[in-house]
């Protein structure tokens, strides 16, 4: 069994930042992620508000963070599933892929979230057959096609604009009478010649045979419906924290977010949490990076007094 000073679960911006801080402090660090290092950041077409970095893609920024973490000595296991977890005791034990066992004196949970779905049966049917949750991943499949974007926050607005590079038209459908994004994001979407907006409406059904051919939109004002001919549907209605595996160990609120104190300590000694997985109001790459820094410094203090 290989032992580390700290095991970080999750390789998004919070986890990678924590790894950078800890490894630079000469602590041995293992970072485990079920997907690719970078988290939701790699799905973002463009990041234009990261201080000191002018116009970079989420994938590029994630790759830079990964390289930096590895350069300081972090061991990173990508596409690895945790099959056993025991972090309640003084020594923390984690098994990966049913065969590799690791232990550590401390753990940082930075598992982030996953895209929230509409919960429609027809959504499941056309997932990967016209329905996507990632404009960066799938946008180029819809060159010169008509598509719909569902959502009204910053992600929906920004990704709708990015999809105009490929699509003939983009229709944003949002359930409320106003958007929840920043003013500049709202204005950019409203002013774009390829974007149409339908407010106070929900997507009731996705329609098609082998692949998506239209969506049925229902007005929340009068209950009327209309079918919109599209071959792509992109859903951006938020994220669900990945915390189910911790629900019997850590204090978690009714939204599935881990409760932490100002030092990002959880209710279990030696276990910290950071990024989109914790109870917080603002979720940005910059806030995740901040959390990763705070959690790492907290772990360093913990290890020094351990």
The neighbouring-strand residues paired with 217 are: 203, 226
Q: Where in the chain is the domain with CATH 3.50.50.60?
A: 2-114+239-304, 117-235
| Pairwise pLDDT comparison (176 vs 37), residue with the higher score | 176
Q: Is 137 a catalytic residue?
A: yes
Residues 178-207 have pLDDT tens digits of: 999 999 999 999 999 999 999 999 999 999
Q: Look at residue 284 in the predicted model and tell me its pLDDT.
A: 85
Catalytic pick among 138, 146, 276, 291: 138
33 CB-contact burial (10 Å; exposed 0-12 / middle 13-18 / buried 19+):
buried
Contact 172, 194 (CB under 8 A): no
Residues 137-183 have pLDDT tens digits of: 788 889 999 999 999 999 899 999 999 999 999 999 999 999 999 99
> Does residue 56 carry a pLDDT above 80?
yes
CATH number of 117-235: 3.50.50.60
Q: Look at residue 233 in the predicted model and tell me its pLDDT.
A: 96
Query: For residue 267, what are the CA distances in angstroms to 88, 192, 270, 299, 303?
Result: 10, 48, 9, 14, 17
The lowest-confidence range among 4-13, 33-42, 56-65 is: 33-42
Q: Look at residue 304 in the predicted model and tell me its pLDDT.
A: 94
Phi and psi torsions of 289, nearest 5°: -60, -45
Compute CA 304 distance to the chain's CA centroid, rounded to the nearest angstrom: 32
> Does residue 43 carry a pLDDT above 80?
no
Q: Look at residue 61 in the predicted model and tell me its pLDDT.
A: 93
> Does residue 306 carry a pLDDT above 80?
no
Catalytic pick among 100, 101, 134, 202: 134
Contact 12, 19 (CB under 8 A): no
Q: Is 134 a catalytic residue?
A: yes
pTM summary value: 0.78
Residues 82-131 have pLDDT tens digits of: 999 999 999 999 999 988 899 999 999 999 988 889 999 999 999 889 99
Number of neighbouring beta carbons within 10 Å of residue 60: 16
Catalytic pick among 137, 177, 227, 263: 137
Q: Look at residue 38 in the predicted model and tell me its pLDDT.
A: 87
Q: Is 74 a catalytic residue?
A: no
Tell me which of 3.30.460.10, 3.50.50.60, 3.40.50.720, 3.30.420.10 is the CATH number of domain 2-114+239-304.
3.50.50.60
Residues 228-285 have pLDDT tens digits of: 999 999 999 988 899 999 989 999 999 899 999 999 999 999 999 999 999 988 788 9
Among 39, 220, 233, smallest CA distance to 117 is for 233
CA distance 232 to 238: 19
What's the chain's average pLDDT?
Answer: 93
The model's confidence at residue 42, banded by pLDDT at 50, 70 and 90, is confident
Residues 196-243 have pLDDT tens digits of: 999 999 999 999 999 999 999 999 999 999 999 999 999 999 888 999
Q: Look at residue 55 in the predicted model and tell me its pLDDT.
A: 81
């Amino acid at each position: 069994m290989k032992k580390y000073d700290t095991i970080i679960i999750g390789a998004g911006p919070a986890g990678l930042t924590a790894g950078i801080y800890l490894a630079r402090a000469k602590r041995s660090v293992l970072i485990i992620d079920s997907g690719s290092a970078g988290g939701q950041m790699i799905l973002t077409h463009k990041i234009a508000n990261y201080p000191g970095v002018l116009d970079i893609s989420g994938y590029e920024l994630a790759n830079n963070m990964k390289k930096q973490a590895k350069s300081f000595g972090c061991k990173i296991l990508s596409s690895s599933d945790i099959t056993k977890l025991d972090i309640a005791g003084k020594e923390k034990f984690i098994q990966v892929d049913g065969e590799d066992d690791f232990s550590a004196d401390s753990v940082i949970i930075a598992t982030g979230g996953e895209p929230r779905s509409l919960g429609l049966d027809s959504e499941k049917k056309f997932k990967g057959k016209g329905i996507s949750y990632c404009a960066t991943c799938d946008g180029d499949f819809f060159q010169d096609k008509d598509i719909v974007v569902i959502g009204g926050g910053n992600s929906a607005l920004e990704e709708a604009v990015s999809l105009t590079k490929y699509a003939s038209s983009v229709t944003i459908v949002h359930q409320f009478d106003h958007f929840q994004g920043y003013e500049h994001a709202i204005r950019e979407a409203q002013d774009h010649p390829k974007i149409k907006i339908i407010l106070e409406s929900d997507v009731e059904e996705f329609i098609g045979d082998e692949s998506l051919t239209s969506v049925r939109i229902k007005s929340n004002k009068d209950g009327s419906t209309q079918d919109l001919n599209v071959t792509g549907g992109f859903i951006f209605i938020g994220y669900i924290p990945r915390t189910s595996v911790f629900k019997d160990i850590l204090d978690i609120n009714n939204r599935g977010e881990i409760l932490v104190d100002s030092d990002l300590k959880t209710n279990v000694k030696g276990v910290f949490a950071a990024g989109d997985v914790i109870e917080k109001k603002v979720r940005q790459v910059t806030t995740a990076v901040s959390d990763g820094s705070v959690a790492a410094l907290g772990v360093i203090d913990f290890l020094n007094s351990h």
